[in-house]
Amino acid sequence: MTSASDGAARRRPRRVCLLSVHTSPLEQPGTGDAGGMNVYIVETARRMAARGVDVEIFTRATSSENPPVVELTPGVLVRHVVAGPFEGLGKHELPSQLCAFTAGVLRTEARHEPGYYDIVHSHYWLSGQAGWLARDRWGVPLVHSAHTLARVKNAALADGDPPEPKVRVIGEDQVVAEADRLIANTDEEARQLVELYGADPRRTATVAPGVDLVRFTPGDRGASRRALGLAPDAVVLAFVGRIQPLKAPDVLLRAAAEMLRRDPGLRSRLVVLVAGGPSGSGLAEPTALQELGSSLGITDVLWFLPPQTRQNLVDVYRAADVVAVPSHNESFGLVALEAQACGTPVVAASVGGLSVAVAHGRSGLLVPGHRAGQWADALGAVVSSPGRRDELGSGAVQHAHKFSWERTADALLVTYAEAAAEYAERQGLVVRPTIPAG
């Protein structure tokens, strides 16, 4: 029987346009607005290029030193579009520059022959606004990935986190209505798109993100601890990501303080490792986490690292006894997958896509809330029993291997083929081919 991926290969696009207005795939994840979406775009673009698909990524230039075009990898170009001032423009100010950004994208295409791009895939609602116009101008399907949704975020705000503005909610409504295909990370996100945004379930596909299973692998924990300057017998609780209320690193600090209250003898070995930089509303108080550590009396066990390169993250994950992902909302949670691929159990909040990224009781633990006592219980259950930690670590590797960027890219190409066939049928160009189930 012919597989769905074989069917897609026969009709896969020649050239894909990816839109990422507010954050460049060249930026270091873990600070500013760069995070999981950056990783997603880079990794899927590379895999599609490896399958013979040319990929061009349009993003807003944020420095006068940004060259107009950068080759990310053979087959993948990053195009910097000048739209507004290079610096000092926050994400919530970018709607004012969507016209300029979209004009830059359209002018680039106009320098080529008609039909240069076969698919437009927009990432985040700002890109969806530009993608909507490009779709109409070029006569090709618009595929859209929201990555996060305003109505979902506003329903689970962290203390001190401002709600997403109405302009974003309206913008998301418009993009959902216009897109030819919506890509959800999980079935839960697909349900949210349908129930909260009125998305057509027939145009909504679930494609799970992946993990780089070549880079993120189990390894020598002792060697990783030596590389980071950690003691061999340390009890290491790690947080990786942007430091902002949404990601809730404060939950880990409060849980660590509770663990020390329960077992003062743990202080000589405990290390709370935080790797990342201020982002979003966290930029307003860049030292808030350090100040919280001081008020909790745990400054002596806190280790702060700047945002790490992908390769350096491997040592962070391997060195940790457990990685905490206490976010108030996550559309998926790539950090959880990366940590598990390195053989490290994850304790995560039972929110959004984390219930898919983490297999409760097999690769880690899911916590139904953000109270310090709950988190101290869960973290303690992992680190207090080496046997349990090793059991979850083994299950973590097995669970992570259910995901890969190769599978994600293949699923995206199938979705592109389906969207293109349906778009052509609606335009009266061809009879829609059937992609066989495999």
| 34 known ligand binder | yes
Residues 284-303 as b or e (16 or more Cβ within 10 Å = b): eeeebbeebbeebebeebbe
- For 148, the enclosing helix (H) or strand (E) is none
| 181 known ligand binder | no
| 166 known ligand binder | no
What tokens were used for 419? 């969207």
**In terms of DSSP bridges, do strands 54-60 and 15-20 run parallel, antiparallel, or are they unpaired?**
parallel
| 402 known ligand binder | no
* Residues facing 325 on adjacent strands: 348
| 308 known ligand binder | yes
**In terms of DSSP bridges, do strands 76-81 and 69-73 run parallel, antiparallel, or are they unpaired?**
antiparallel
| 244 known ligand binder | no
Report whether 190 contacts 206 (CB < 8 A).
yes
| 151 known ligand binder | no
Distance of CA 346 to the CA centre of its chain: 17
| 148 known ligand binder | yes
| 92 known ligand binder | no
| 33 known ligand binder | yes
Report whether 184 contacts 207 (CB < 8 A).
yes
| 231 known ligand binder | no
Sorted by sequence, the CB contacts under 8 Å of residue 99 that are 6+ apart come out as none
Report whether 357 contacts 337 (CB < 8 A).
yes
| 222 known ligand binder | no
The structure tokens 């949210």 sit at 192
| 7 known ligand binder | no
* Residues facing 181 on adjacent strands: 143
Q: Is the dihedral of CA 400, 406, 409, 414 positive or negative?
A: negative
C-alpha dihedral over 227, 228, 233, 236, to 10 degrees?
-140
| 36 known ligand binder | yes
| 374 known ligand binder | no
| 247 known ligand binder | yes
| 312 known ligand binder | no
| 242 known ligand binder | yes
| 153 known ligand binder | no
Sorted by sequence, the CB contacts under 8 Å of residue 166 that are 6+ apart come out as none
| 124 known ligand binder | yes
Report whether 127 contacts 203 (CB < 8 A).
no
Give the residue numbers of the binding site for UDP-N-acetyl-alpha-D-glucosamine. 28-29, 36, 242, 247, 308, 330, 338
User: Which residues belong to the annotated binding site for Mg(2+)?
Assistant: 317-318, 320, 344
Task: Specify binding-site residues for 1D-myo-inositol 3-phosphate.
Answer: 22, 33-38, 91, 124, 148, 168
Please enumerate, by residue number, every residue annotated as part of a binding site: 22, 28-29, 33-38, 91, 124, 148, 168, 242, 247, 308, 317-318, 320, 330, 338, 344
